[in-house]
Amino acid sequence: MPGWSCLVTGAGGFLGQRVVCMLTQEEELQEIRALDKVFRPETREEFAKLQTKAKVTLLEGDILDAQYLRRACQGISVVIHTAAIIDVMGDIPRETIMDVNLKGTQNLLEACVQASVPAFIYTSSVEVAGPSSYKEIIVNGTEEEQRENTSSHPYPYSKKMVEKAVLAANGRTLKDGGTLHTCSLRPMYIYGEGSQFLSYIIINALKNNAILTYTGKFSIANPVYVSNGAWAHVLAARGLRDPKKSPNIQGQFYYISDDTPHQSFCDLVYHLSKDWGLRLYSGWIPPPPLLYWLGFLLEVVSFLLRPIYNYQPPFTRHLITVSNTVFTFSYKKAQRDLGYEPLVSWEEAREKTSEWIGSLVQQHKGTLNTKIQ
């Protein structure tokens, strides 16, 4: 697979950064174009330090700018599209989410057609499959089951509509007469050092002297470590470019998990942070049905106050649904078609994430020379 180039959107994000870093190890890769709306100074510094033969080009531009995307795609062999607005709390207007997630992806697909980019990999989400209700129970689900989230919440709805658009674009004729090949990856909840969501939970735990458990105590999930999620994207890029593997991958979607133990979200946070003295909240937690209706009341209060005050509820019905269900999926199809095997074990992932959490603890509680006993 001689001389190729890759555009990564959302390259300044949690997953996108890892994808860029992992691509630098790919043979014959001549250029990586890292696209995001804005890059933080520390991200620019990290990319500048990358040891790679490939040219790394940072592009700052809006995914809603169709002309800019067309220029960014010129001469590119593979697009890895990780950029998206993620919203579980209902903080962001529905129109904004649909514009960026759906319209932005449609712009990018059209740019690929016009610039004759033959391979397109989309970072979807397990939320395309659900859960649609806190009562839903899925254990080791597979792609063959064709599950679809029926929620009207803008984030899972947008991801579902985008994935349909991406897979429907498979087989489109490119401007140069070639063919566009697409596939979609559905990672589980992604954790690891640098996670904004984990950072939010840990900082709140430090303020409250405990890890609050109303969003996760009653769940069973199989999260994926960020480097393993990024590795699946690299393998998908290899696969779509390999004529022998490509027919099996084209137009397909894949669940991406790893060997992180199936556990509740609260237990995951506890196992990642216990070395630093953080403990789970031990008081009474309302069961999911009560939490769900409390979430509904909080949303009503937020809606009624909106003309005079921007009240952000501590949790919503959507958050309770996604964080208090039994919802796990197998990665066997990715193993079969992409050759996917997790690069990082649970033990190593836990250790690396725990070290990062330790730096957060030090930052917010003062310098700690020894672990809290």
Question: Which residue numbers are catalytic?
Answer: 159
CA-CA-CA-CA torsion sign (240, 181, 33, 30): positive
Show the tokens assigned to 251. Answer: 């137009």
CA distance 315 to 220: 19
Biggest distance spanned by C-alpha atoms of the chain? 65
Taking each helix axis as running N to C, give the angle between helix 66-73 and helix 104-115, from 0 to 180 degrees, rounded to the nearest 10. Answer: 40
DSSP output for 336-348 = HHH----SS-HHH
Show the tokens assigned to 81. Answer: 């599209």
Q: What b/e sequence results for 6-35 when a residue is b if at least 16 CB atoms lie within 10 Å of its CB, and e otherwise?
A: bbbbbbbbbbbbbbbbbbeebeebebbbbb
With CA atoms as reference, report the closest residue to 155 among 82, 226, 93: 93
Whole-Å CA distances, 140 to 55, 83, 252, 257, 276: 40, 27, 19, 10, 32
Helix, coil or strand: residue 55: strand
In this structure, the number of other CB atoms found within 10 A of the CB of residue 274 comes to 17
CA distance 47 to 141: 37
For the chain, where are the alpha helices, taking DSSP H only?
Answer: 14-23, 41-48, 66-73, 94-98, 104-115, 154-168, 196-208, 226-241, 246-249, 265-273, 288-305, 317-323, 332-338, 346-365
Q: CA angle, 147 as apex, 146 and 152 as ends, to 5°?
A: 135
For 77-153, where are the alpha helices, taking DSSP H only?
Answer: 94-98, 104-115
Show the tokens assigned to 180. Answer: 């566009």
